Chain A
Amino acid sequence: MFLVWLRVAVILYGLASVATLVAVFGNRPQWQRLSISLAVAAWLFHGVSCTEMLADAHRWMPAGMHEVQSMLALLIATAFLLIAWRYKTLSFGIFALPLALLLTVVPSLGLDKYAFKSPLIRSGWLFVHITGLLAAYAALIFSLTASLLYLIQERRLKNKRAPGFLNWLPPLETMDQIAQTTLVLGFCGLTIGLFAGSLIAQEIYGATYFADPKIWLSFLMWGLYVVLLFVRRSRGLRGLRAVYVSSLVFLAMLSVWAANVFSSVHRFGGP
């Protein structure tokens, strides 16, 4: 049944994406209300689908690429709705909702053939590990998007053009706040996720597990994250330089994600 809810959510994400594009670029208040309503409906169906999926499997963590993708999409949609509520801006929806749609399309087509079979699957620590890291990914995507939009808005204001096509961009200060807040939240998620993962690995596999390139990349990403946070906070880093640093961390994050495919140690099929 969870697949049915997920398919409904996919359709609603699609409709919400279209409504958001019209609302943001056309600046139409009715479409803004429609867009939020559709996004909330999609999020609810998606939430029901994820809960039912995990309840059916008698576990609390996603196993397999489809489930992870679906959870990441749910976290991205959650972050978008929180930002829309807190900062009164729909602009992030033009990236977040299509991304949530893309991430849920494949999982909605059918059951995952490739699943994580480890007995650890029901471990609470593993749930903390995966959820923390997925939240960090979602937060970093928003932080990078906010930094990029900041840069575009900054260039537009410096070039002294009338609003025109880019009128939908949120104010600089709002984007800076979103970039900073999501960065801090992402750092918390990453730290908790890595800490939980390290505890599990140390307990079950010992030191050999730390030969995995993904683990090294993960710690590198954490280190970069610390540097980024420190520099942003102490120097008030904004604009182009903030985008560079955020992009660097984002690249590290993508490498960690790609390591799932290339690493022979750290696979969803288990070590």
Chain B
Amino acid sequence: MRILLTGLNHKTAPVELRERLAIAPQDLAAETQALLSHPGVREGLILSTCNRVEVLVCHDGDDPEVTKYLNEHFSVDAKTLEPHLYEYRDSEAVRHLFRVASSLDSMVVGEPQILGQVKESYSAARSVGAVGPALERLLQSAFTAAKKVRSETQIGASSVSIASVAVDLARKIFGSLEGKRVLLVGAGKMSELAARHLMHQGAGSLLIANRTQEHAVRLAQKFNGHVVRFDDLHARADEADILITSTGSPEFLVRTPHAQQYLHRRRNRPMFLIDIAVPRDIDPEINRLEGIFLYDIDDLQSVAATNLADRSSEAKLAEAILEQEVARYQQRVDALNVVPALVDLQAAAEEMRQAELRRNHGRLKSLSPSQLEMIESITRSLMNKFLHQPLQTLKAAAREGDATAVETIRSAFQRHGAREDAPGVAAEKSNSGESESLISKH
């Protein structure tokens, strides 16, 4: 069984093309079913995310025309599509899949979503019977490799987006975000995004203060929060553990005396202030106060950039782990390749049969050619009957991917001094030549 991976991603294709090929999660199973019915495809899977569309197929013989399938199904002509496509075969396809699942091929290296997306594709393919033993083996190995990369490197340990950096910092101050109160000053998109992220991570409740009351009410309804009158901002700001500002104010809204008041009323409990407004809403001097932690947009971006650089160095370690995993997968696949073992087993049995016939040659001299032919036929039939069960078990074990069973059967029937390098030779030699000569002598 051979493997072919065809696709395009954020490095090879513009978003306009990627979106034409993108498949909605609910259509994934049906599209995989269509792929399975494409000529030459034995097993198949489609991975469709915002950054990539990849088709993975297992096939026998010639390459199935996956590009044709893409052209037909997504109504994109070959001239437009082909310059952006890449193709990987066998071990290269395995390596690419492992890199994708481990997030080494992602736009943001180390992002955790991709493994879940690969698993969703796998589930969709399984649901329509597109996952056979070969693909099952390959995908399980890819999941193991991805897990190993996650647990043995720090590739996903640090945050690389502004919102997640803010959440990480809040965790470094408060530990858990459970029950923490967030005050949003200004109802801009950025602050809404940061608040959404904090609430998603378990922050307790949301207060919103905005000059335009209607915007505050709209946002409060969206997040099930409470509106604070803008004039009451300083009177109620101490209720919040996390304060996010993003107003269009040309002057500082929060200055050192305000922050001192907050701290006094909070009995010095720490406060995390996030200023994502430009120009800034909070006087940077207040970061000098003990218990106040102020981060503006540049600070958050700088932390994110450092984390991204750290991920790149961890990616090298991850690549080394993946090389080992690819080699391990390849060894396993080789172990399950039972064709040489089948040929060797038949050759060994045939050799024994021939040897017995030769040994009894003297006693068989008196027999007529038709009687000799009968003996020839009986011994061959007997040999085939003896071999039938082990050969079937060997094939079944290989089909199910049971490498241990394959190895056990192989070693149980292995001849001493068997020619492992050229098992087919024995079969070729013994299949007809010597037995034919035995009969022809008479």
Contact = CB atoms under 8 A, between A and B. Distances in A.
Interface of A: 27-30, 153-154, 157-158, 160-164, 167, 169-174, 235-241
A240 B270 CA distance: 14
Contact of A158 (B154, B287, B310): B287
Contact of A235 (B169, B171, B267, B302): B267
A238 B290 contact: yes
Interface string B247-269: 00000000000000000001111
B268 A158 contact: no
A164 B306 CA distance: 9
B174 A173 contact: yes
Contacts of A153: 172
A173 B270 contact: yes
Contact of A163 (B158, B267, B270): B158
Contacts of A158: 287, 293
B174 A29 contact: no
Given A235-B267, A238-B290, A162 B173 contact: no
Contacts of B306: 161-162, 164
B291 A239 contact: yes
A160 B171 CA distance: 14
A27 B269 contact: no
8 closest residue pairs by CB, A with B: A162-B306, A236-B268, A236-B267, A171-B175, A160-B299, A174-B175, A173-B175, A239-B290
B303 interface: yes
A72 to B, nearest CB: 29
Contacts of B291: 238-239
Given A161-B303, A169-B172, 16 more contacts: A27-B157, A29-B151, A154-B290, A157-B169, A160-B299, A160-B303, A162-B307, A163-B307, A164-B306, A167-B157, A171-B175, A172-B174, A173-B270, A235-B268, A236-B268, A236-B269
Contacts of A172: 172-175, 270
A161 B306 CA distance: 9
A153 B290 CA distance: 12
A220 B303 CA distance: 46
A252 to B, nearest CB: 25
B190 to A, nearest CB: 19
B151 A157 contact: no
Contacts of B329: none
A157 B299 CA distance: 11
Contacts of A171: 171-175
A170 B299 CA distance: 21
A240 B268 CA distance: 13
B162 to A, nearest CB: 14
A239 B290 CA distance: 7
B295 interface: yes
A240 B174 contact: no
Contacts of A174: 175
Nearest to A238: B268
Interface string B147-186: 0000110100110000000000101111100000000000
A92 to B, nearest CB: 15
Contacts of B310: 162, 164
Nearest to B173: A172
A237 B302 CA distance: 31
Contacts of A157: 169, 172-173, 293
A239 B172 CA distance: 15
Nearest to B290: A239
A169 B168 CA distance: 13
Contact of B302 (A27, A29, A160, A241): A160
Contacts of B175: 170-174
Contacts of B303: 160-162
Contacts of A160: 295, 299, 302-303
B370 to A, nearest CB: 73
Interface in B266-287: 266-270, 287
Interface string B327-351: 0000000000000000000000000
Contacts of A235: 267-268
A16 to B, nearest CB: 21
A158 B287 CA distance: 7
Contacts of A173: 173-175, 270
8 contacts: A161-B303, A162-B310, A169-B172, A171-B171, A172-B174, A238-B268, A238-B290, A239-B291
Contacts of B293: 157-158
A170 B270 CA distance: 15
A236 B268 CA distance: 5
Nearest to A88: B175
B51 to A, nearest CB: 25
A238 B307 CA distance: 29
A162 B154 CA distance: 14
A154 to B, nearest CB: 8
Nearest to A26: B154
A170 B173 CA distance: 9
Interface in B298-317: 299, 302-303, 306-307, 310
A221 to B, nearest CB: 25
B240 to A, nearest CB: 15
A169 B173 CA distance: 11
A151 to B, nearest CB: 10
A173 B154 CA distance: 25
Contacts of A241: 290
Contacts of B299: 160
Contacts of A162: 158, 302-303, 306-307, 310
Contacts of A161: 303, 306
B243 to A, nearest CB: 15
Nearest to A29: B151
Contacts of A170: 175
Which of A28, A154, A163 has the largest count of B CB atoms less than 10 A from its CB? A163
A26 to B, nearest CB: 8
A39 B268 CA distance: 36
B151 A30 contact: yes
